[in-house]
Amino acid sequence: MTARYVLGIHAGHNASAAIADASGPLFAVQEERPRREKNYWGFPRLAIRACLERVGARPADLAAVVYGSRQVFSDYRSREDVLTAYRRQGTLGGRLRQRLVMPAALAVLPRYGQRALQRRLQDVGLGAVPLVHHDHHHSHAATAYYGLRRNPDERYLVLTCDGDGDGLCATVRVMGGGEDRLVAATPWANSLGTIYSWITFNLGFVPLEHEYKLMGMAPYAYEAASRKVAEIFRGYLDLADDGLTLRRHTLLRTNDLGRRMARDLAGMRFDHVCGGLQLFTEDLLTRWAAAAVRATGCSRLLAAGGVFMNVKANQQIAALPEVESFEAFPSCGDETLPLGACYLEAAKLGGEPERLAHFYLGGEPGAEEIETALAASGFPHEKPEDMAEAVAELLAAGKPVARCAGRMEFGARALGNRSILADPSQQDVVRVINQMIKKRDFWMPFAPMILDERQHEYIENPKGLRSPYMMMTFDTRANHGEMIAAVHNADLTCRAQILRREQNPAMHAIVEAFARRTGRGVVLNTSFNLHGFPIVQSAADALQVFADSGLEHLQLGDWLVSKAP
């Protein structure tokens, strides 16, 4: 490449930006972090600035600005706007707009929204940089293939599944070994993702944000009741005869089924609906994956797209006898489209993107920033000689510790650098952390961070699957009591982060030090944020959340901060 960098952007729900060179992503951040508005929807102005500043790039240094969709929705939308859009579909005008006007506009305008995006790029000084659009689902597939592949000479089966993108909701693709072939594609009218979002809305949650809460409730439902509800969903959508695409059994598109589903499920218990939806989702995805393996002959499976944030379905796919290995791209909703678009553009320009070594793609608080913020906070602080030992000592004493150190994680999962840590052997720590800061729904579990070398003491992982990004659940072993606070109470599964030393040496050292004190090679890990707000980004963010919560201990870079007794 003559110009060194490629800038990827996403201006839709959970807007984000990433900057990459021929080797792959160098830096990425979601707009929600600097804006302090969770799942920000709009043009990622601040994220773009952060990407350029991180590498010291000017417009002339960019080979292209890339966007991981051909159709763009870059106008700002608040959480209330999203809810209003769903409510509006109960009105005649809303139904006409949803069922006739917008589908017709998108069919006639395959480049919908591109001019508005170009104007916004002009406003931030990037109007002269070539703007390249890549297909939505190809971009999702690229995140999984380039980010997770182990050998570029091997062929991989890559599945994508989400609500909608560039007219599709699911694809089957073979990538690697010199091949990039689309095998099958499902039109957006037959979307599993939109069914899940509509049930999320109908149950009183925020669609495009709270789907995971339904997944968390599902194991509490009686199996017989769940199966009865699952049959209702099967009346809407199933596999086509070829097994490679989804086919609906209704005249209405799945995105137009909200009112019908509300009627069909009226009077059914909340947990039964969640259980039935989860059972339906797992059954559909596993049969689809098995059929794709048979059709392509590829047993190494990679996945991306928002539906694969369903970690419990991912566990079922990984367990299929046809599947040799499985991994879903970390935080694989549309926030990662800029990464996929960067991968595709780098490969097109002759680069050879490298597999992800980690997902700490954000910035880190500098020493001067931290010291300035600490001085302004007034909190007592000290610089321990050995931070890992100091944090482990607090954890072993039953005291949760927040951590803001090193580069920030990208995406929905806190992976240790913007986390709250605790001893998972004490069930009551769930109540303590919820009272302190999280206000998490009572049925939602926390997650364990387990040393890779000790994973088989705690989880069943017969295929030796990687799980550095908490993208699937695992069954736990008999001694799950050592991490009971990080296990789902109903089915005893856990969304484990299997931590290798090379992934995060500083965090690995803390868990090792905790293990030396307690004998347990696992800690509880949850994101460092106030309920309803994004994960903290800066030193000032961390100290503000520390001040506004019941947390008593915070690792901030090289400093250990405590509240006065």
Domain of 519, CATH number, reads: 3.90.870.20
- Residues 383, 269 share a domain: no
Q: Which residue's entry shows tokens 């073979």?
A: 174
- Residues 386, 443 share a domain: yes
Q: Which residue's entry shows tokens 């040799």?
A: 324
Helix, strand or coil, per DSSP, at residue 83: helix
Angle formed by the axes of helices 311-318 and 270-296, nearest 10°: 40
Contact, 528 vs 422, CB < 8 A?
A: no
Decide if 522 is inside a domain. Answer: yes
Give the count of alpha carbons within 13 A of 342, CB side only. 31
Bridge-partner residues for 179, per DSSP? 176
Single-letter residue type at 253: R
User: In terms of Cα–Cα distance, which of 196, 199, 552, 172 is closest to 397?
Assistant: 552
Q: Which residues contact 256 (CB under 8 A, 6 or more apart)?
A: 89, 95, 98, 99
- Residues 34, 130 share a domain: yes
Contact, 233 vs 280, CB < 8 A?
A: yes
Q: Would you state the pLDDT for residue 262?
A: 96
Q: How much is the average pLDDT of 202-225?
A: 96
- 138-148 pLDDT, tens digit per residue, is 999 999 999 99
DSSP conformation class of 115: H
Q: How much is the average pLDDT of 550-559?
A: 97
- Residues 389, 326 share a domain: no
Domain boundary among 315, 348, 381: 348
- 98-107 pLDDT, tens digit per residue, is 778 788 778 8
Host domain of residue 38: 5-137+339-348
More confident residue, 503 or 94: 503
Decide if 237 is inside a domain. Answer: yes
| ∠ Cα 232 233 236 (to 5°) | 105
- 58-86 pLDDT, tens digit per residue, is 999 999 999 999 999 999 999 999 999 99
Decide if 362 is inside a domain. Answer: no
User: In terms of Cα–Cα distance, which of 312, 526, 493, 521 is closest to 425?
Assistant: 521
Q: Would you state the pLDDT for residue 97?
A: 80
Q: Is the pLDDT confidence value at 422 over 90?
A: yes
- Residues 158, 125 share a domain: no
Q: Which residue's entry shows tokens 């001067």?
A: 368
DSSP conformation class of 536: P
DSSP secondary structure of 59-75: GGGEEEEEES-SS---S
Rounded CA gap, 73 and 77, in Å? 10
Rounded CA gap, 519 and 246, in Å? 48
DSSP conformation class of 553: E
Q: How much is the average pLDDT of 445-470?
A: 97
Number of domains in the chain: 3
Q: Is the pLDDT confidence value at 564 over 90?
A: no
Rounded CA gap, 159 and 166, in Å? 16
Q: Would you state the pLDDT for residue 2?
A: 64
Size of the chain, expressed as the number of residues it contains: 565
Decide if 78 is inside a domain. Answer: yes
Q: Is the pLDDT confidence value at 51 over 50?
A: yes
Q: Would you state the pLDDT for residue 98?
A: 78
Domain boundary among 348, 375, 399: 348
- Residues 517, 545 share a domain: yes
Average pLDDT, the chain: 95
Decide if 357 is inside a domain. Answer: no
- 306-353 pLDDT, tens digit per residue, is 999 999 999 999 999 999 999 999 999 999 999 999 999 998 888 789
- Residues 292, 151 share a domain: yes
Rounded CA gap, 11 and 15, in Å? 5
Q: Would you state the pLDDT for residue 1?
A: 46
Decide if 361 is inside a domain. Answer: no
- Domain of 205: which CATH number? 3.30.420.40
Decide if 72 is inside a domain. Answer: yes
Would you say the pTM of this structure is higher than 0.85?
yes
- Residues 80, 34 share a domain: yes
% of residues, the chain, pLDDT over 90: 91
- Residues 468, 449 share a domain: yes
Burial of 26 (0-12, 13-18, 19+ CB in 10 A): middle
Domain boundary among 297, 319, 348: 348
- Residues 395, 284 share a domain: no
- Residues 116, 34 share a domain: yes
User: Edge-to-edge, what's the strand order for the sheet holding 131-133?
Assistant: 24-30, 16-21, 5-10, 62-67, 131-133
CB burial readout 61-87, b (16+ within 10 A) else e: bbbbbbbbbbbbebeebebeebeeebe
Decide if 360 is inside a domain. Answer: no
Q: Is the CA virtual torsion 423, 429, 430, 434 positive or negative? A: negative
- Residues 479, 380 share a domain: yes
